[in-house]
Amino acid sequence: MSCSEYDAEKLREELARDARVSELGVEVTITGDRAYIQGKVSTAERRDAVGQVAREVLPDCTVINEVTVAELEPPDRQNPRVIRVAAVGDIHFGDDCVGCLAPQMGSIGEQADVLLIAGDLTKHGAPEEAAVLASELGSVPIPVVAVLGNHDYHCDAQEEIRHIVEGAGVTVLEGESTVLNLGGRTLGIAGTKGFGGGFAGASGSDFGEPEMKAFIRHTKSVSQMLCEQLTSLSSDYRVALLHYSPVEDTLVGERLEIYPFLGSYLLAEAIDTAGADLAIHGHAHRGSEKGVTAKGIEVRNVAQPMLGRSYAVYCLGTHEQEQASN
């Protein structure tokens, strides 16, 4: 008996929902009567649970569990100047995600000092979806800072979503910044959703129809706010938190035709002008994790479907400022 794409989608949903797994970034591919499962999870127990859930959901398929365990780099606790930044985006919470977050964030207090969420908190921008997320974010034991994403704007309820999430103790930024004191070190975060427009040599311009001018002028406006907020920060480290991408590097894997709708070089110019230690974004589900601006500032795409794991951890203050992952 052959399995179908319907079976694959059913399994993806169950892997996200089942408390034994709670993985949103695991890939399922159906070939004939075989279901191939790929991705990274945080523990061997969770990897085995992925196979168990798959066999329960697809009893008539042969399950090939190719999920691997992400190697964790021990957190640098010896250097008092290090700040460990956990980051994830595009978690797309909905009514069916009750109980999903706790298993994903179970050890985050041991791995990181702060959690950054790079937009798309909800599936469809409904306040009810934000309420589900807020009920679980309240249990995260470290500070949480977020920006909204395009999904969170879909129902024109972005202000209500922000209010709901802030009620759980989350700091939500849009053209704003905040400074956190983390064990005597300070982390400044400037955040904006950002917007599209494209990249050098293949971008829209502030010319022509009113709709096109409005599109690009909006990107210019949010980029200017990002620059101003980063410049205003007085902290040991500075991070730019976005939903849309500032560079092409982290879009590799997406179709070239949609690059203009995934980010803008104007965001990178703002970051380079003001300076930062790290830039975080989401939105590009099929992109790549690592990139860099023209002036050498590291950029990381943390969209959960691309990461294939609960979150990534980036250490600020080490020589290489590289990441462990979970």
Q: Verify that 245 and 309 share a domain, yes or no.
A: yes
Residue 78 belongs to some domain of the structure = no
The C-alpha atoms of residue 194 and residue 109 are separated, in whole angstroms, by 29
Average pLDDT, the chain: 88
pLDDT tens track for 205-253: 999 999 999 999 999 999 999 999 999 999 999 999 999 999 999 999 9
pLDDT tens digit sequence for 279-303? 999 999 999 999 999 999 999 999 9
Q: Which of 28, 47, 69 is the last residue of a domain?
A: 69
272 in Cβ contact with 291 (< 8 Å)? no
Q: Which residue has the higher pLDDT, 87 or 65?
A: 87
Q: What is the CA radius of gyration of the chain?
A: 20
Express as a percent the part of the chain with pLDDT over 90.
63
In this structure, the answer to whether residues 58 and 98 fall within a common structural domain is no
- How does residue 19 score in pLDDT terms, banded at 50, 70 and 90? low
CATH number at residue 157: 3.60.21.10
88/56 same-domain check: no
Same domain, 175 and 293: yes
Q: Label residue 67 by pLDDT band (50, 70, 90).
A: confident
